[in-house]
């Protein structure tokens, strides 16, 4: 991610250069409004989307400037809103007087889990499900190609050296780490522990999973070669973000470094709708 794109020029006072300042992704949420359209055939068709991005808040602080943005993804042909993403990045070391504060008045689409209360109590209980993933040496390179994020910290060791990491490895993308939670929840539903969430279905072929929401706060970096552990708890207290047609399940999660125990993603929350497939039998 380019630092100059994180803070649009209209929010910087003249002669302010932030090109060499580090940027930290601190929070991300995704809300799906409807299932994404996929190509009928990978070789003969494609699906086009439009992304409309806008800055929602710019908050200069002594540590740096927090910038929150919102991206709406719509189907190119129909104009249907598919999903909305909100994220916050911190540009470290910038003088607060060099930044123009801004608030567009756009509300958060999700409810933040307070780490001082509920999230900490979670860790006193055994998770409903956990899954550990060992990242490969090419993990950041592959995600870099897929995402288009050309930041050099994902291919060299500069971020590792700056953060004092002994492994001298490239930094993994924060969104890659969050994407592992998506995979872990799918594995949860496909596991013996997931049978209680099946909405009366006996096997995977009888239901569809529709992710409604996924969010989390990035607390510490992950590096290429790390083993990442996703721990998931059932959440029966948080209200659903929207009315749904199926049976909605809510989860809380954290992602840790499996070897050190350090929390990489905290305050995680997900919402998944279990939809029964229509029977093909007459």
Query: 72-93 pLDDT, tens per residue?
Result: 999 988 899 999 999 999 998 8
Task: Output b/e per residue, 160-176; b: 16+ Cβ within 10 A.
Answer: beeeeeeeebbbbbbbb
The better pLDDT of the pair 169, 178 is held by: 178
What CATH number labels 111-282?
3.10.129.10
Per-residue confidence band for 116, with pLDDT thresholds at 50, 70 and 90: very low
Task: Output b/e per residue, 2-19; b: 16+ Cβ within 10 A.
Answer: ebeebbeeebbeeeeebe
- Choose the weakest-confidence range: 44-48, 200-204, 235-239: 200-204
Tell me if 188 sits within 8 A of 211, measured CB to CB.
no
pLDDT at residue 169, as a whole number: 85
pLDDT at residue 31, as a whole number: 96
Instruction: Examine the pLDDT at 243 and tell me if it is beyond 60.
Output: no
Alpha-carbon gap, residue 199 to 207, rounded angstroms: 9
Tell me what the pLDDT averaged over the chain comes to: 83
Alpha-carbon gap, residue 55 to 42, rounded angstroms: 34
Q: What is the DSSP letter of 12?
A: B
Alpha-carbon gap, residue 253 to 185, rounded angstroms: 10
Tell me if 98 sits within 8 A of 13, measured CB to CB.
yes
Alpha-carbon gap, residue 102 to 24, rounded angstroms: 19
Instruction: Examine the pLDDT at 3 and tell me if it is beyond 80.
Output: no
Between strands 129-134 and 81-92, the pairing is unpaired
Domain ranges of the chain: 1-109, 111-282
Per-residue confidence band for 236, with pLDDT thresholds at 50, 70 and 90: low
Partnered with residue 162 across adjacent β-strands are none
Per-residue confidence band for 188, with pLDDT thresholds at 50, 70 and 90: very high
pLDDT at residue 1, as a whole number: 45
Give SS3 for 96. Answer: helix
- Choose the weakest-confidence range: 44-48, 161-165, 268-272: 161-165
Q: Find the mean pLDDT for residues 212-231.
A: 93
Residues sharing a CB contact under 8 Å with residue 157, sequence separation 6 or more, in sequence order:
168, 169, 170
Give SS3 for 78. Answer: coil
Q: Find the mean pLDDT for residues 108-136.
A: 76
Q: Which residue has the tokens 């083993």?
A: 227
Q: Give me 82's structure tokens.
A: 């598919």
CATH 3.80.10.10 is the classification of domain 1-109? no
φ and ψ at 160, to 5 degrees?
-60, -45
Per-residue confidence band for 121, with pLDDT thresholds at 50, 70 and 90: low
pLDDT at residue 82, as a whole number: 95
φ and ψ at 116, to 5 degrees?
-75, -15
CA angle 270, 236, 129 (to 5 degrees): 60
Per-residue confidence band for 24, with pLDDT thresholds at 50, 70 and 90: confident
Domains 1-109 and 111-282 share a fold: yes
- Choose the weakest-confidence range: 21-25, 125-129, 215-219: 21-25
Partnered with residue 263 across adjacent β-strands are 256
Per-residue confidence band for 281, with pLDDT thresholds at 50, 70 and 90: very low
């Amino acid at each position: 991610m380019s630092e100059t794109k994180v803070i649009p020029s209209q929010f910087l006072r003249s002669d302010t250069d932030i090109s060499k300042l580090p940027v930290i992704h601190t929070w991300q949420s995704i809300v799906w409004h409807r299932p994404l359209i996929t190509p009928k055939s990978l070789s003969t068709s494609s699906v086009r989307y439009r992304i409309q991005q806008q800055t929602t808040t710019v908050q200069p602080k002594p540590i740096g400037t927090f910038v929150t943005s919102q991206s709406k993804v719509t189907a190119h042909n129909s104009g249907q809103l598919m999903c909305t993403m909100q994220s916050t990045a911190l540009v470290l070391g910038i003088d607060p007087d060099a930044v123009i504060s801004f608030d567009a008045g756009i509300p958060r689409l999700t409810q933040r889990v307070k780490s001082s209360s509920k999230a900490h109590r979670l860790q006193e209980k055994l998770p409903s499900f956990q899954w550990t993933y060992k990242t490969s040496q090419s993990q950041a390179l592959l995600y870099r190609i897929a995402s288009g994020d050309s930041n050099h910290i994902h291919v060299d060791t500069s971020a590792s050296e700056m953060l004092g990491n002994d492994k001298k490895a490239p930094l993994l993308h924060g969104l890659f780490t969050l994407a592992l939670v998506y995979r872990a929840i799918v594995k949860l539903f496909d596991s013996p522990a997931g049978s209680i969430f099946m909405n009366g279905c006996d096997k995977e072929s009888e239901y569809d999973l529709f992710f409604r929401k996924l969010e989390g706060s990035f607390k510490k970096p992950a590096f290429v070669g790390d083993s990442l552990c996703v721990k998931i708890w059932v959440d029966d207290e948080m209200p659903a973000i929207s009315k749904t047609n199926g049976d909605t399940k809510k989860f809380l999660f954290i992602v840790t470094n499996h070897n050190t125990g350090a929390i990489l993603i905290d305050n995680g929350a997900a919402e998944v709708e279990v939809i029964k497939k229509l029977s093909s039998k007459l």
